[in-house]
Structure 1
Amino acid sequence: MPELRIDPFPSPADLNTLWCAAWNTPQAPDFSCILPRSLTHLGAYHDGRLVGFVNVAWDGGIHAFLLDTCVHPDMRRRGIATQLVREATRVARERGAEWLHVDFEPHLTSFYRACGFRTSEAGLIKLA
């Protein structure tokens, strides 16, 4: 199993490599402005390489938000995402969050339910 690191602040190159593989996109967001504001973020490392990531944003109070959960395609189906989400949940609780929110596409419902989330009504506006 990969080693989980709490708040590892991966290099932009490491995040970009993982992000492009996991999300099939040409460029990762600039996390240098995002991660310092997060409640926590976690990286999964295998042989020193970043193979999984999750970010927990927050409102500065009791609400935290699980974002950007991803695992490199070569490392999927090994329980890494589950480990990341469960550890992120633990750390968020430990750091004072009382609610952990997550948005996900329908095909991920069983994954997030298995991680302890229940579905709820929510609203969304696309701004850009």
Structure 2
Amino acid sequence: MPATPSYRWRADVDDDDLLDLVASHGGRADPGWWPRVREHSLGWVTAHDDDVLVGFVNVAWDGGDHAFLLDTKTRPSHQRRGVGTGLVRHAVQEATAAGCEWLHVDFLPELAPFYLEACGFRPTEAGLVHLSAARP
């Protein structure tokens, strides 16, 4: 069983580490994604097991009261061991410390137990436009 990871706020993380994490669970890795996204972030939480990146969540924000949880990822070898919950817990703490009033997250229905039960989010009504589907 892997050791408990160390969690870090705004730790140095490079594009290759994130590409490897995404690919580890079958996600589509987009080279250059992290350098483009990082500048829009309030911060991010990483989970490391020794020198291996085993978890990540990005906290984007509007520069004021609203922060947004994006791209929560946990390496398959570390799933179901509290790593994702730890990432979110640290993100909540840091967004609170930064003065944010709200932390938003959207997710697929199968992730509802994680976000609503394990992480303490509550369901809300929201609207969404799938932009690529709306293009003429």
Task: Indicate the TM-score class for this superposition, using the shorter chain for normalisation.
Answer: over 0.9
Q: Which moved more, 1:107-116 or 1:117-126?
A: 107-116
Spell out the pairing of 1:75-94 with structure 2 (5 A cutoff): 75-94=78-97
Label 1:23 to 1:6 Cα distance change in 2 as closer, same or farther (>3 A).
Answer: farther
Query: Helix, strand or coil for the counterpart of 2:89?
Result: helix
| Among candidates 1, 5, 10, match of residue 8 of structure 2 | 5
Distance, in Å, in 2 between the alignment partners of 1:26 and 1:35 is 16
Structure 1 residue 54, shift from structure 2 partner: 0.1
Distance, in Å, in 1 between the alignment partners of 2:95 and 2:5 is 21
List runs of 5+ in structure 1 lacking aligned partners.
none
Structure 1 residue 28, shift from structure 2 partner: 5.3
Distance, in Å, in 1 between the alignment partners of 2:32 and 2:47 is 19
1:22 aligns with 2:25: yes
TM-score, normalization by structure 2: 0.88
Aligned to 1:42: 45
Query: Helix, strand or coil for the counterpart of 1:14?
Result: helix
Aligned to 1:115: 119
Return structure 1 stretches of 4+ with deviation > 6 angstroms.
none
Query: Helix, strand or coil for the counterpart of 1:60?
Result: coil
2:14–2:34 contact (8 Å) kept in structure 1: no
Label 1:45 to 1:95 Cα distance change in 2 as closer, same or farther (>3 A).
Answer: same
Identity across the alignment (%): 47
Q: Which moved more, 1:7-16 or 1:51-60?
A: 7-16
Query: Helix, strand or coil for the counterpart of 1:27?
Result: coil
Aligned to 1:71: 74
Query: Helix, strand or coil for the counterpart of 2:87?
Result: helix
| Among candidates 81, 95, 99, match of residue 98 of structure 2 | 95
Bigger radius of gyration, 1 or 2? 2
